[in-house]
Amino acid sequence: MFFSNEQMKLRLLIHRWLRLFFSWRVKNISHRNFVLIISVIIGIFSGLAAVILKNSIHFVRDLLTGNFDLSGWNFLYLLYPMAGTLITMLFVRYVVKDDIGHGITKILYAISKKEGSLKAHNTFTSIVGSAFTIGFGGSVGAEAPIVLTGASIGSNIGRLFHLNYKTITVLIGCGAAGAIAGIFKAPMAGLMFTMEVLMLDLTIGSIVPLLLSAVSGATVAFFFLGKGAEFNFVLEAPFQLSNLPFYAILGILCGFVSLYMTKGTLFLEKKMSLIKNPIMKWTAGGLALSLLILLFPPLYGEGYDTITALLSGSSDYIVENSVFYAFRDSDYVILLFLIFLVGFKVVASVATNGSGGVGGIFAPTLFIGGVTGYFFARLLETFGLVELPLSHFTLVGMGGLMAGVMHAPLTAIFLIAEITNGYGLFLPLIAVSTIAYVTNRFFEPHTIYTKRLARRGELITHHKDKAVLTLMRLNNVIETDFLPIHPEQTLGELVRVIAKSKRNLFPVVGSQQRLIGVVTLEDIREIMFNHELYQTVKVRDVMAIPPELIESSETMDEVMKKFEDTNAWNLPVTENGKYLGFVSKSKIFSVYRKVLIHFSDDEE
């Protein structure tokens, strides 16, 4: 990239002022206090981003669907979703020129493999993409894009001020906490989200910045959007202890529905990825999405209007704009309609993202959870088994699905309580969220967010040893100063190679650098000084097959498992059979210690 003289002068001036600021900051503001100041700034910007995205989505949606007839079909449902994903796809493909989907997974990958580095364009591109996608009816949520936006704000501010990896990771968490707090006006949920979903360890050095950022983001949202909760909920009656068994059953049901959502999403995403042509992918996904929305209008957009209706006890709203409206007085038709909503919301969400849209599973999870809870309570009521408060079960169902899908029971509990003012149902909310989490976790150890990274060994967890191994790179521990030998060389030639080497291990390499075996000094100690054997004994006669080979694509966790299984001290590294070098335990321990210090220490 070439810069004009004016641009170059401006860049030099900016760098000069930054150096002066850095110098002044080091002398006058401690690192800890500086992080606290930055966390507030990040929270404010993340909250503003959440407000902008939320208002943009509502503006586009109301502009497109404000005059729809509620009693019949609206065929514009066939056009809007496809138009929205097409606009988003063109924006991503020709303007952004980078993948901006799977926001949470991108953050986790940046933390584990990219030193916390997120691209600068992520501070705004996800807002634009998701505004078009969801505003035009894409059946996804705005939360993952806004979390990626907040995390990117934190990452780029941290790198601007040349902060270390540990601090940048905390600032990424600050951005995510501020974004969640801003989009939902729920500061505690923002804090819990960073701990459970982003898996950041809460220490004294990190919890205060996260709290400040979450409070700042929520304050901005309250200022622009008012103090009202996200959903209108009125406690019908105090919690009845006699209903606790039904809440427990709902928790198990939410666990299995969340398992369906996780497995179904990953399965359908895999099938969509088989379509390589972007136009064909947009056509297939867009048509599926539009047809589903035409038949089931509650699938349009985030679905929060449907949740509000269910919390108010109204089922008429959910069948508006559909052919089912004529049967709104039939309990059985409503129950069937709710089953369809749960089943097809997963398909609609994958079709939205697969066809080029940008959005997350946060809102679909709440949608499916609310519908599941309402369905369960209404099913028991319809068959005359027991009469349960529909809105209560709708609310706790949202928490149960979130806890199951995201493996984040604390986030679910605090988020649902904050966005609905449903603190009167804290006990059943805790029970359902915990049971759903345990049920899902029994069958699936990973979430939708982490499954892709876990398969590749690129996921950082709260387990310190595994986290450090994830941060380590195999190419940083490969040693290449071993002198190779050929299998047809004689013992005498081998001894001369040994005399030049500082190692006691020698790879035996054939044609095209393919590893055949290894020779150690221990293998030839008894014959290496027997001159009579120098011409008769060949390397192939004394070499040994290594107990295990390490492929260059393997993770450090897999490498350590091979060392444990073989009890070896050195193992060769190959790439498709071609010799690259050796990895030793001593080298791993040395690099491990450096990474552990880098990962754990805070600047003062």
pLDDT at site 546: 83
460 vs 482: which has the higher pLDDT: 482
Identify the weakest region by mean pLDDT among 256-270, 311-325, 446-460. Answer: 446-460
CA dist 163 and 545 (Å) reads 47
pLDDT of residue 379: 94
Q: What's at 189, amino acid-wise?
A: A
Residue 597: pLDDT over 70: no
Query: What's the chain's average pLDDT?
Result: 83
Q: Encode pLDDT of 216-253 as tens digits.
A: 999 999 998 887 666 766 676 777 888 899 999 999 99
- In the block, which residue shows the tokens 């349960």? 388
The owner of tokens 């070896």 is 568
What confidence category does residue 592 fall into, taking pLDDT thresholds of 50, 70 and 90?
A: low
Least Cα distance to 244 among 426, 405, 404 occurs for: 426
Which of 93-97, 101-105, 150-154, 551-555 has the highest mean predicted lDDT (pLDDT)? 150-154
Tokens 């709902």 -> residue: 250
580 and 554 in contact (C-beta within 8 Å)? Answer: no
Percent of the chain with pLDDT over 90: 32
Q: What's the pLDDT at 88?
A: 92
**DSSP-based three-state secondary structure for 440:** helix
Q: Domains of the chain (ranges plus CATH)?
A: 5-225 (1.10.3080.10), 241-458 (1.10.3080.10), 467-600 (3.10.580.10)
Closest of 568, 566, 457, 445 to residue 505, by C-alpha: 568
pLDDT category, 161, cuts 50, 70, 90?
confident
Residues forming a β-bridge with 572: 582
Largest CA distance in the chain: 101
Q: DSSP for 402-418, please give it.
A: HHHHHS-HHHHHHHHHH
Q: Are strands 570-575 and 478-479 parallel, antiparallel or unpaired?
A: unpaired
Q: Is the pLDDT of residue 461 over 70?
A: no
Please give the pLDDT value at position 456.
53
Torsion over CA: 34, 39, 40, 41 (sign):
positive
CA dist., res. 195 & res. 304, Å (int) = 25
Half-sphere exposure of 212 (CA within 13 A, CB side): 18
Pairwise pLDDT comparison (411 vs 596), residue with the higher score: 411
Range with the largest mean pLDDT of 10-24, 142-156, 572-586? 142-156
Q: Residue 5: pLDDT above 70?
A: no
Tokens describing residue 331 = 């309990």
Greater pLDDT, 154 or 589: 154
By C-alpha distance, which of 455, 464, 460, 469 is closest to 560?
469
Q: Quick one: tokens of 514?
A: 């393919």
pLDDT, residue 86, reads: 93
What ranges make up the beta strands (E) of 469-600? 478-479, 505-509, 515-520, 550-551, 570-575, 578-584
Complete edge-to-edge strand list for the sheet that includes strand 550-551: 478-479, 578-584, 570-575, 550-551
User: Is the pLDDT at 579 greater than 90, yes or no?
Assistant: no
